[in-house]
């Protein structure tokens, strides 16, 4: 008798991807056949569909609700899937509304309740009313090792070193959805990373709401620098990349580790959100009164070849024209190699929704385009400076249409930055490093030729 099939659909951030890989590993160990799905397809039959939702901003909530509605409709009309379970941030935030609106949902849990969801799946005879559990005080604590099933085969993976958030940024609902910051014990992370490496992963991306806070809540005498040092000791040829570092938490100790450890790529993702101190104070950002430009300059002195990625919010309440111009001037001076921007999305239940001096949608959109045009010039200038140089490149995939391999150097983070289109007369191996010479540049992407394998 063949194993029952469970399809897992992941919406939202990289942390949801990690949670779903935990789920997939737990279910596979129980004998289920687990199949990752990019989206629901009613023509494919499943015993169970698990939908991990996102409830962070309006667009993400709409995508989650639309997907729930699509699966619920298929289940009602055709009986496919046999069972339908919803979990994650949207379930945590709007559990009662979703439970009442969609009676086709067979079970629902919020965040950090993987064990509860497993129990629901195992006990099919439980009535629907007993398969609803979204804790009023959410917690996303992981205390033990869980074998992950890599649900998207690729050369890179994410190591969730903590979840939840104890910051109180006025625009963000994450602390209400996920609760306080919880670090994963180092011994668990080392075991998890070792397993990922054994599965062929060549790049480990450290993620959390703010990885610089890692370890403080555990009070075991270690933090992010110590974790990175121990990860770097693991056997194998792989990269470590630091994502989601709040500027206020970046210490000289951390920078020295990045500078000294060969396995740690000189790349930092630091979401500044803005540069104007009045706007940052309204955002209630940690270190709002610090000099961001000076911070970046200091980091570059310690790690001279470092590449930065940042994110910026435009149209935040109180962002005057002068504040916006100061942001543009700062971006032109700092010259972040990578930058993403978002237009402010007011979230219910957050202090920012009640702030005065709202910025009109058209004004915010115009500012967004000005910023991205400014950044495009900076990005192109950076890419042009790399033509003629050689880099160690990790091959992620192959593009059949363009007949080029897709890779990244230390300067490109997966899924958010540009890529390197690699030409090779001979087949390359996905998940392997190659020495590549850059031959031309576009605004965000580069083109290169393979020199030799490493």
- For the chain, the structural domain boundaries read 5-133, 153-269, 270-385, 390-453
Mean pLDDT of the chain: 95
Q: Which CATH architecture has domain 153-269?
A: 2-Layer Sandwich (3.30)
| Model confidence pLDDT, tens digit, residues 44-98 | 999 999 999 998 777 888 999 999 999 999 999 999 999 999 999 999 999 999 9
Cross-strand partners of 398:
405
Give SS3 for 394. Answer: strand
Q: Which CATH class is domain 390-453?
A: mainly beta
List CB contacts of 297: < 8 A, sequence separation 6 or more: none
- Look at the pTM and tell me if it is higher than 0.85: yes
In the numeric block, the tokens 């079970």 are attached to 107
| Regions of the chain short of the pLDDT cut 70 | 1-2, 452-454
* Within this chain, domains 153-269 and 270-385 share the same CATH topology: yes
Write the pLDDT tens digit of every residue in 176-200: 999 999 999 999 999 999 999 999 9
pLDDT reported for residue 185:
98
Q: How far apart are CA 88 and CA 216, in angstroms?
A: 25
Contacts 24+ apart (CB under 8 A), 323-330: 323/274, 323/276, 323/278, 323/279, 324/276, 324/367, 326/275, 326/276, 327/274, 327/275, 327/276, 327/371, 328/370, 328/371, 328/374, 330/275, 330/292, 330/293
Question: How much is the pLDDT for 58?
Answer: 79
- What architecture (CATH level 2) is domain 270-385? 2-Layer Sandwich (3.30)
User: Residue 134 is encoded by which pair of tokens?
Assistant: 């979204």
- Measured between alpha carbons, how far is 35 from 152 in angstroms, rounded to an integer? 10
Q: What is the pLDDT of residue 454?
A: 47
Q: Map tokens 């004004």 to a residue.
A: 363
From 3.40.50.12160, 3.40.50.2020, 3.40.630.40, 3.40.50.300, which CATH number describes the 5-133 domain? 3.40.50.12160
207's enclosing H/E stretch is: strand 203-207
Q: For residues 279 and 318, give the distance between their C-alpha atoms in angstroms, rounded to a whole number.
A: 6
């Amino acid at each position: 008798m063949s194993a029952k099939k469970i399809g897992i659909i992941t919406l939202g951030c990289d942390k949801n991807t990690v949670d779903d890989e935990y789920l997939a590993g737990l279910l596979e160990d129980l004998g289920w056949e687990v199949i990752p799905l990019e989206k629901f397809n009613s023509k494919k039959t499943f015993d169970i569909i698990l939908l991990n939702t996102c409830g962070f901003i309006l667009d993400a909530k709409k995508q989650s609700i639309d997907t729930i509605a699509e699966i619920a409709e298929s289940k009602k009309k055709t009986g496919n899937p046999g069972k339908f379970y919803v979990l994650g941030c949207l379930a945590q935030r709007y559990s009662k509304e979703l439970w009442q609106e969609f009676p086709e949902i067979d079970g629902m849990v919020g965040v950090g309740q993987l064990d509860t969801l497993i129990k629901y799946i195992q006990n099919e005879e439980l009535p629907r009313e007993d398969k609803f559990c979204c804790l009023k005080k959410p917690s996303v604590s992981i205390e033990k090792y869980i074998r992950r099933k890599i649900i998207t085969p690729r050369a890179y993976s994410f190591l969730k070193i903590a979840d939840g958030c104890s910051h109180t940024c006025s625009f963000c609902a994450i602390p209400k959805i996920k609760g306080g910051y919880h670090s994963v014990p180092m011994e668990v992370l080392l075991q998890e990373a070792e397993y990922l490496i054994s599965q062929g992963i060549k790049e480990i991306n450290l993620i959390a709401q703010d990885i610089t806070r890692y370890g403080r809540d555990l009070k075991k005498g270690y933090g992010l620098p110590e974790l990175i040092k121990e990860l770097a000791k693991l056997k194998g040829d792989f990269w470590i990349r630091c994502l989601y570092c709040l500027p206020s938490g970046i210490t000289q100790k951390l920078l020295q580790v990045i500078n000294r450890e060969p396995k740690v790529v000189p790349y930092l993702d630091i979401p500044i959100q803005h540069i104007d101190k009045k706007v940052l104070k309204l955002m209630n950002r940690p270190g709002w009164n610090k000099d961001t430009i000076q911070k970046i300059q200091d980091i570059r002195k310690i790690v001279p070849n470092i590449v930065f990625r940042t994110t910026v919010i435009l149209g935040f309440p109180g962002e005057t024209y002068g504040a916006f111009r100061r942001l543009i001037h700062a971006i032109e001076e700092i010259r972040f190699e990578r930058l993403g921007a978002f237009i402010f999305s007011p979230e219910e239940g957050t202090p920012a929704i009640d702030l005065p001096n709202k910025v009109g949608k058209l004004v915010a959109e115009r500012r967004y385009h000005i910023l991205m045009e400014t950044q495009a010039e900076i990005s192109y200038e950076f890419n042009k400076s790399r033509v003629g140089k050689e880099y160690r490149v990790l091959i992620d995939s192959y593009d059949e249409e363009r007949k080029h391999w897709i890779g990244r150097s230390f300067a490109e983070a997966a899924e958010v930055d540009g890529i390197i289109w690699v030409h090779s007369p001979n087949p390359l191996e996905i998940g392997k490093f190659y020495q590549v010479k850059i031959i031309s540049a576009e605004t965000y992407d580069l083109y290169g030729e393979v020199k030799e394998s490493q």
